Every structure is written in C-alpha cells, then in structure tokens.
Amino acid sequence: MRLYEHEAKRVLADQGVRIPHRYGLVSTPAAFDRLKVRCPVMVKAQVLIGGRGKAGGICRVGSGDEARSAVSRILSMRIGGCEVRSVLVEEALESSAACYLGVTMNPASFNTVVIAGTSGGVDIEEAARTRPESILRVELPENPETLPGESARRLASFLAGSVPGATALEPPLAEVASEIYAAYRKHDGTVLEVNPLLITSRGPVAADAKMVIDDNALYRQGELLVRLRIAGKRHEDAESTDRERRASAAGFPYVDLLPKDAPRRPGKVYVALVPGGAGYGIFAVDEVTGIGEKFFGGRIVPVNFMDSGGGPTREGVAEMFSLLMDWPLVDLIITSRFGGISSCDVFIRGLVDCLRRRRSLKKRVVPVYGRMVGTDLSSARAFLESARRETPEALSELSMVVGNREIMAEVIRAGLADYLTRVEGRR
C-alpha cells in the first residue's frame, strides 16, 4: 500500500527526520484562503503515482495570489489518469545541494538494500543507468533491525563527498540514513525513499518522500493507519473505489478495471466477472477479451477482477452478484464455479438468493451466464431444478451449465451471442 507524500513525511518526522514546515493540506481553493502561509511556498499535488513534477503537479510560488492560482490549477488536473483531490502546501527551502536516500528489498536475495545517490530530485533508475558512479548500494544480508553504524557512515561519506567542503555533513547524513532505515523497518516498508534530500542551513531535510507498506503486514500497522486516518487498503496508484470498499467489507478481493464514472461507449458490451478463484479471475479477463475480439468485433469490455474462491458463504456469494448488478454500466455477468474448496451447492444457493431478493425488491437484474462443476454438484443441480420450478420468473435471467458438457470458453461465447441477439431483437 502506497502512502501519499504528506503521509510518508509524517512517518519520517515521527522517526526524527526533518521535513519542511507544513502549512496545510487543502482540497479546495477556499480552504487555501484560510491558511496562514509565508511565501515562497511549494504547492504539490497529492496522488499515488509518480511523474507529478513533469506533469506540472509540483510548483514553487512566490506570492499568495500565485499560490492560490496554483492550488486551483492543480486541483483541476489528472496525473497519469488519477484525479488530484488534495494539494500539500509547505515551505519552500533554500539548499546548497540535493541528494537521494532510499531503502528497499533485493527481490533476488530478500536482503534489505540502502541506496544513496549524489543527485536529488532526479529519476534514480535513470541516474543508475547513465551515471552509475553517482549511486552507492549497501546490501544488508542479515536484514538488521537498525542500520549498522559502519554502513551509515559509508553512505554519509559517499553523499558528503559530492558537496565541496562538506565533511561536517557526514554525522547528520549518517543520522538521517539511520532514521530512514528505522522507519522502513518499523512500518514493514517495501520501499521508502527521500528524493530529494536537501542539504540546508539547518541540516538534511526530506523535501519529498515515497513509502510503500507491505499489504501482508498491514495487520501489524493498525496504530499507524489510525494515526494517518487510513480507513482501508489502497491500490498502488489510487484509492479504492466504492465497489472495492464494499467488496472488502464483505470479505472478497475485487478490483474495478475501469475508471470511476467511466462513460458508456456506443456499441460496447460491458461484462462483469464472478470467477471461481484468483487464478481463473485473472485468466477470465483475458479470455473474455479474446473471445470478444475473435467473435464479436472487439465490442466486449470486462469491467472487473474478482476472487470468489476459498469457500465463500451463501450470503457472500449473493453479495458478489448484487454488487455487480448495482453497477449501471454492467450489461451481463459471466460466472464459473469449479467446486474444489468451494461448494457448488453454496454457490448456486447464494446466486439464487440474490436473484430472488432483487426481483422482490424490484431492483435491477442483468443476465447471468455460467457453468458449475465439482464439489456438491448433485445437490446443487437438484436445488437449481427445484428453484426454477418454484420461482421461474425470478430466475429467468439465469443460464447455468451444470457439469462438464461444455468448456468455459464455449459458455462465454454462447452467453455473449445470446445477450447480443436479445439486445438486437429489442431494437
């Protein structure tokens, strides 16, 4: 889970790292008017994606009017497809030099690596490629809880060597390297970088920061999440959508594949997916897209990823389908249940519950095409046959292949063809 810049800076400040004075975090120009700022200031878009500076989402301004104008302009931006919803306003610093300090993990060895760069505010990967002499990597095989003093001094000496007459900087640089490392370890980081780390008259200051926390360790970071007022998981580059939060509350993994409020494009068919598990959930997106390209002229658009495996409850299955039917963009649902850990009987009962409940409440129902095979198939078949006799109208939009008589690709193709025939027949 990635933190916003202002959140990463708070983590660093709690560990003792100096950060610029923060005037406020604002989401409207009117909110900026209530701040008491002393110019010059930095106005910085808060998004969970890189490239803010190149996109014009970070600027230094010299007056209040310029700052307000910058706030207004940045709040109207989208950076890398992400809407800017808040702006950080903080003091603009004078510096004599800028450098880079970061901590991450070597994916090959699982060792912690501390990286120092003698140029700050630049793309560190590009610097490593074009000027490798400007980068120092210190790998720590034992993954110690604290940065060894020898390693801290080595990093500090390397950075101080890029600033003429900067021998006096070595102790504070060693200290800040140790503090950054401590914050990374304490909060289960996968990445923590300060870029740039500015050399100022009051010592090294973290002018910008990026931090990513291991999702698998979030259960250990409850205190931090409360302190930062983070209510739930995030994507790598965006906040969770309303549907993603709803799915998380219900206990199943779910990701929207389209932007919030994505417009309906003429001629497209929007297909939601309730697959049997994460593996097929990923494959299903490609399979539906491929079938759409081959047989339907590229008109088919998958709208979500979902992992419905692992033995969901009857109520959980009902919520999976209901969540998707509540999305006005969805035209139909493709579902596949391979009962291994999961029960076909529980699955079909949950789906039928959803369809019956929505019919009774006069809520929107979309066609569902699918197949189920595996554990408890015989009882699932018997229940479905009985349910169709009892409530035929409620289940009129359900087409379910029971057993292995058709492969899933054919179920998808036939379902899409049936849906399009029905749509064209209503015209």
The letter for the amino acid at 369 is Y
pLDDT at 39 over 90: yes
CATH 3.30.50.10 fits 97-227, yes or no: no
27: Cα within 13 Å, side-chain hemisphere? 3
Q: What is the mean pLDDT of residues 5-22?
A: 97
Structure tokens at 361: 């409440």
Q: Are 304 and 272 in contact (CB under 8 A)?
A: yes
Residues in the chain: 427
Query: What are the tens digits of pLDDT across the range 284-337?
Result: 999 999 999 999 999 999 999 999 867 889 999 999 999 999 999 999 999 999
Buried b (16+ CB within 10 A) or exposed e, 98-133: bbbbbbbbeeeeeebebbbbbbbebebeebeeeeee
Query: What are the tens digits of pLDDT across the range 136-192?
Result: 999 999 899 999 999 999 999 999 988 776 778 999 999 999 999 999 999 999 999
The letter for the amino acid at 266 is P
Residue 65, phi then psi, degrees to nearest 5: -65, -40
The letter for the amino acid at 418 is D
Residue 25, phi then psi, degrees to nearest 5: -115, 120
How far from 99 is each of 120, 172, 384, CA to CA, in Å? 4, 14, 66
How far from 376 is each of 100, 203, 372, CA to CA, in Å? 58, 67, 10
The sheet carrying 332-339 orders its strands as 300-302, 269-274, 332-339, 368-374, 398-402
pLDDT grade, residue 92 (50/70/90)? very high
Q: Are 97 and 169 in contact (CB under 8 A)?
A: no
Contacts 24+ apart (CB under 8 A), 54-63: 55/79, 55/80, 57/84, 60/92, 63/39
pLDDT at 265 over 60: yes
| pLDDT value for 71 | 97
Bridge partners of residue 60, in order along the sequence: 42
- Looking at residue 48, the DSSP 8-state letter turns out to be S
**pTM across the whole model:** 0.68
Measured over the CA atoms of residue 162, residue 105, residue 188 and residue 53, the dihedral's sign is positive
| pLDDT value for 391 | 97
Structure tokens at 162: 């890029």
Residue 35, phi then psi, degrees to nearest 5: -80, 150
To which H or E segment does residue 315 belong? Answer: helix 314-325
pLDDT at 277 over 90: no
Sketch the domain layout of the chain as residue ranges: 21-91, 97-227, 242-426
Q: Are 228 and 10 in contact (CB under 8 A)?
A: yes
Q: Are 2 and 237 in contact (CB under 8 A)?
A: yes
Q: Are 190 and 214 in contact (CB under 8 A)?
A: yes
Q: Are 313 and 348 in contact (CB under 8 A)?
A: no
Dist. CA 296–CA 299, nearest whole Å: 6
Q: What is the mean pLDDT of residues 257-275?
A: 91
CATH architecture of 242-426: 3-Layer(aba) Sandwich (3.40)
Concatenated DSSP letters for 399-418? EEEESSSS-HHHHHHHHHHH
How far from 148 is each of 116, 143, 145, 192, CA to CA, in Å? 15, 10, 9, 18
Q: Are 285 and 274 in contact (CB under 8 A)?
A: no
Dist. CA 101–CA 120, nearest whole Å: 9
Question: What are the residues whose beta carbons fall under 8 Å from the beta carbon of 63, sequence distance 6 or more?
Answer: 39
| pLDDT value for 239 | 67
Q: What is the mean pLDDT of residues 362-379?
A: 95
Pairing of β 58-61 and β 41-45? antiparallel
- Looking at residue 215, the DSSP 8-state letter turns out to be G
pLDDT grade, residue 80 (50/70/90)? confident
| pLDDT value for 128 | 86
The letter for the amino acid at 387 is A
Q: Tell the CATH superfamily of the 21-91 domain.
A: ATP-grasp fold, A domain (3.30.1490.20)
Residue scoring higher pLDDT (122 or 264) = 264
Query: What are the tens digits of pLDDT across the range 200-246?
Result: 999 999 999 999 999 889 999 999 999 999 876 676 556 678 899 89
Q: Is 335 helix (H, G, I), strand (E, B) or coil?
A: strand
Dist. CA 285–CA 257, nearest whole Å: 10
Q: What is the mean pLDDT of residues 257-279?
A: 90
| pLDDT value for 235 | 61
Structure tokens at 375: 């554990």
**Which of 100, 182, 416, 97 has its CA nearest to residue 288?**
416
Residue scoring higher pLDDT (424 or 302) = 302
pLDDT at 13 over 90: yes
